[in-house]
């Protein structure tokens, strides 16, 4: 990657942050003495007293913005910003609305490559510190890893949550988060919306699934705490989500308002432990869920807007006094009951501090402003949230120096030791669920010619191409002769015929499966291939529940990889080829497809060679 000319951190700080330094010089991150903490609060109170009401309201918002640059994005991104936000650039967004944070997305063209991300982060911080009341910003993203990652290669992509759950190692989970956190920090991203603390007890969950560490609350709690310590030990803020627990739903809160039917006792047993563990580990921020839990709030308001849940339970019962951030306010789950002008006001009244990504910033910002002016929200209530937000910025060292450099990027992002650690950790996660007649591990002497077919979901960051291509490439690197044929998530009859024809003369067929249902043509694909007499190995490239729907199709062996990112698919191939043991154990139970009361494969199941 060609180096770009970037001002040094000291030059940027001197040029734009002198005023901020005069207002507040933060103590070192994680300052331990009560006197230092009290001194920080006093300085922050003086800073807050200088802020206009508009500036105070702006600090509550974390907003998306299109473009790779804070001041000179591409014209298409300028047009998108004008259409959605009414500004041209990130710098104009900060100047007009005084936002306290910006969230990065790949689809918003914020994350082209690590040097560009660092430059964007620096430009955002320059814009924040150039204001009359200079305040650095919290730059955030969703870098969960696995199937949700906003920053791709050459950054290190570590295994996702359920894969880590299959590995079962808290030290590996902590190390994965430390690596991920260090690389985000080098690019100027200081708040990560991870780890997921939801306990996935519903195989039909369309929105969490492998984003969860598993179905055992205590195991999930241990891994959540480990990742909190890993991220925050690397100098960024971790965010456990989605409170009070999104693991038992059949609806996606992006598109609907799910209801969780747990009793209060079930919530305490199933959903609460990971959040308790995160709080005990010192979590910096907690994200809300757009879900209804009648047992916790009979009004049936979504949790994001529920004072009984956020203030009564999270603040008062669990004793949490850190930053509470909403899930995206553009999601249908939070917009279904109230209008876009009421949602941010109700979220603040419920106990939220940060208002994430409203569909219309103008409507949301003006609604909060008006609510303060008419007395529905007091200025004191707003300042409570601002203090939490500014304390976090101080803890992260942003008042001291918010800038990063290309040198930081080059010596941290995607470095060899990080990549090696990611491969090692992934090697502990692959789970072997079935192995008829000892087919696996494959030998190049008896199963040299490999056909790889299967699903090709949209690629998350961290993939070099369709899963079939990645799997075939990994076999080739190990000395096999491998051919890839993408048949898709819903293979047509013609594609199935093509795959059957391609299997002729092959020694083994690998089928990548993706969320197989009772009516999925993926079942037909597997059964038709098995009928050729060529042994079939299925690789679940997302949820491990696929094997329940494939029972009776004739496959010879089955593996769960938990994601279709390169690091997890390469690990699966190494296990299939006998270059490593399949060390993973199921972190969720797999029930029979025709009778969910019967468990086919319990938590902890996993075969060895």
> Any idea which residues carry the catalytic annotation?
254, 327
Residues in the chain: 609
Token representation of residue 318: 């669990």
Q: What residues have CB less than 8 Å from 33, skipping those under 6 apart?
A: none
Closest CA to 167 of 560, 577, 497: 560
Residue 30 sits at φ, ψ, to 5 deg, of 65, 30
Token representation of residue 128: 């924040």
Q: Is 527 exposed, middle or buried (0-12, 13-18, 19+ CB in 10 A)?
A: middle
The owner of tokens 């199933």 is 270
Cis peptide before 178 (omega within 30 of 0): no
Cis peptide before 244 (omega within 30 of 0): yes
Angle in degrees, CA 548, 550, 553, rounded to 5: 140
Strand-pairing partners, residue 145, are 148
Residue 165 sits at φ, ψ, to 5 deg, of -60, -40
Judge whether 571 and 580 are in contact, CB under 8 Å. Answer: yes
d(CA 405, CA 318): 39
Judge whether 198 and 241 are in contact, CB under 8 Å. Answer: yes
d(CA 104, CA 116): 12
Torsion sign, CA atoms 537, 543, 548, 549: negative
Alpha-carbon torsion angle 260, 264, 270, 276, nearest 10: 110
**149: Cα within 13 Å, side-chain hemisphere:** 29
Token representation of residue 317: 């019962």
Token representation of residue 183: 């690389």
């Amino acid at each position: 990657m060609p180096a770009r000319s970037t001002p040094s951190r000291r030059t940027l700080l001197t040029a734009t942050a002198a005023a901020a330094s005069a207002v507040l010089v933060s103590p070192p991150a994680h300052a331990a003495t009560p006197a230092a903490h009290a001194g920080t609060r006093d300085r922050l109170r003086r800073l807050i007293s200088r802020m206009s009401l508009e500036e105070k309201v702006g600090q509550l918002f974390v907003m998306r913005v299109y473009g790779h640059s804070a001041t000179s994005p591409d014209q298409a991104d300028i047009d998108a910003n004008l259409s959605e936000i009414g500004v041209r650039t990130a710098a104009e967004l900060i100047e007009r609305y005084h936002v306290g944070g910006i969230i990065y997305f790949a689809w918003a063209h914020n994350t082209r490559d690590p040097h560009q991300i660092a430059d964007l982060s620096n430009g955002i911080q320059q814009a924040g510190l150039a204001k009359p009341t200079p305040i650095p910003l919290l730059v955030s993203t969703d870098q969960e890893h696995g199937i949700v990652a906003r920053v791709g290669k050459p950054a290190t992509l570590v295994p996702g949550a359920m894969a880590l759950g299959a590995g079962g190692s808290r030290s590996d989970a902590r190390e994965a988060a430390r690596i991920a956190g260090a690389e985000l920090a080098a690019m100027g991203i200081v708040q990560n919306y991870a780890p997921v603390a939801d306990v996935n007890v519903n195989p039909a969950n369309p929105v969490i699934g492998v984003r969860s560490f598993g179905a055992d609350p205590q195991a999930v709690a241990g891994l959540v705490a480990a990742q909190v310590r890993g991220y925050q030990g690397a100098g960024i803020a971790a965010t456990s989500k989605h409170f009070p627990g999104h693991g038992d739903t059949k609806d996606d809160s992006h598109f609907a308002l799910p209801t969780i039917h747990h009793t209060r006792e079930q919530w305490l047993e199933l959903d609460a432990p990971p959040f308790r563990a995160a709080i005990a580990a010192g979590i910096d921020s907690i994200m809300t869920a757009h879900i209804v839990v009648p047992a916790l709030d009979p009004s049936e308001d979504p949790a994001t807007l529920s004072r009984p849940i956020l203030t009564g339970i999270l603040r008062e019962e669990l004793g949490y006094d850190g930053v509470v951030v909403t899930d995206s306010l553009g999601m249908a789950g939070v917009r279904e009951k109230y209008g876009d002008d009421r949602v941010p006001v109700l979220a603040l009244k419920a106990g939220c501090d940060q208002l994430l990504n409203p569909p219309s910033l103008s409507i949301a910002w003006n609604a909060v402003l008006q609510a303060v002016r008419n007395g529905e929200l007091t200025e004191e209530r707003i300042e409570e949230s601002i203090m939490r937000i500014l304390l976090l910025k101080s803890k992260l060292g942003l008042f001291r120096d918010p800038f990063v450099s290309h040198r930081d990027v080059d010596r941290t992002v995607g470095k060899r030791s990080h990549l090696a650690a990611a491969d090692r950790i992934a090697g502990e996660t692959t789970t072997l669920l079935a192995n008829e007649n000892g087919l696996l591990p494959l030998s190049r002497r008896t199963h040299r010619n490999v056909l790889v077919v299967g699903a090709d979901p949209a690629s998350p960051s961290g993939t070099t191409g369709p899963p079939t291509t990645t799997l075939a490439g990994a076999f080739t690197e190990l000395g096999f002769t491998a051919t890839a044929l993408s048949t898709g998530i819903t293979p047509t009859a013609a594609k199935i015929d093509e795959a059957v024809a391609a299997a002729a003369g092959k020694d083994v067929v690998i089928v990548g499966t993706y969320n197989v249902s009772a009516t999925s043509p993926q079942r037909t694909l597997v059964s038709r291939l098995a009928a050729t007499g060529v042994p079939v190995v299925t690789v679940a490239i997302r949820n491990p529940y696929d094997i329940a729907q494939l029972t009776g199709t004739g496959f010879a062996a089955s593996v769960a990889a938990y994601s279709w990112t390169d690091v997890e698919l390469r690990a699966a191939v190494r296990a299939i080829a006998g270059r490593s043991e399949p060390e993973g154990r199921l972190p969720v139970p797999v029930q029979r497809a025709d009778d969910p009361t019967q468990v086919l494969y319990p938590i902890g199941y996993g075969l060895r060679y």
